[in-house]
Amino acid sequence: MILKQFELTGKKALVTGGSYGLGKAFAEALLEAGAEVGIVDISNELPAAVKALKKSGLVTGIKADLLKRPERKRAFQKFLKTFGTIDILVNNAGITRRNRAEEFALEDWDQVIELNLTAVFDFCSMAGKVMLKKGSGKIINIASLLSFFGGLKVPAYTASKGGVAQLTKALSNEWASRGVNVNALAPGYMATPLNTALLKDKARSCQILERIPAGRWGKPEDLKGALVFLASPASDYMHGAVLVVDGGYLGR
């Protein structure tokens, strides 16, 4: 039965930045498909998110500041101690900073690149070591439409998401033949806290909406099916792909 290929019963999944927005929807989707989920996040919303998600399955919260490299290692080791292994990694945690390129602070650049790209590689490396030893695993990096074009007033975010797409392909080249799937999910314009400033910019928000054939901004739940697909056996022959879910924006 084809639907069985989408089941994740018993799989151990780690989601970074899973307290709210897209990350919380990803965690919920994995739980609904049968996985056991660990959420790593710095947000004060983590306890409430874990409590709400427990209605859908077994979930544990791990508080950590992913901008700090020792904290990332500690969080990953705690996940392994709690769950025993890792089958699925969703690199979702990310931040953005908005400013004109000529005025963009180097400190802001460093923070965005550290969390959105370096931390992604760090978690891929830690998870990859475990997955390669057992010959199986699913890594899903969260890219963006800005992996394909430059955007406005977000130079660091654009650079980081372009890097995520290329890193996904590079890791896939090395690990596909060894049983580990590395793919990326590229959300379109989503009505989430990350885009609050963009949504408040009436002119820019209107420009974006006019280009979306679906006629609306995306919602976190719009990504749940694609996430489960990339995490499940249904995508076993999919490697190095950047799967776009954008309401048709790129095709316009």
User: What residues form DSSP beta bridges with 139?
Assistant: 89, 182
Give the C-alpha separation, 167 to 175, whole Å: 12
Angle between helices 224-231 and 21-32 (to 10 degrees): 60
- Please say whether the beta carbons of 153 and 98 come within 8 A: yes
20 is catalytic: no
- Please say whether the beta carbons of 197 and 191 come within 8 A: no
DSSP per-residue string spanning 162-200: HHHHHHHHHHHHHHGGGTEEEEEEEE-SB-SGGGHHHHH
Structure tokens at 87: 């089958």
Structure tokens at 113: 């690149």
Which residue is catalytic, options 157, 189, 237, 249? 157
User: What residues form DSSP beta bridges with 59?
Assistant: 37
Q: Which residues carry out catalysis? A: 157
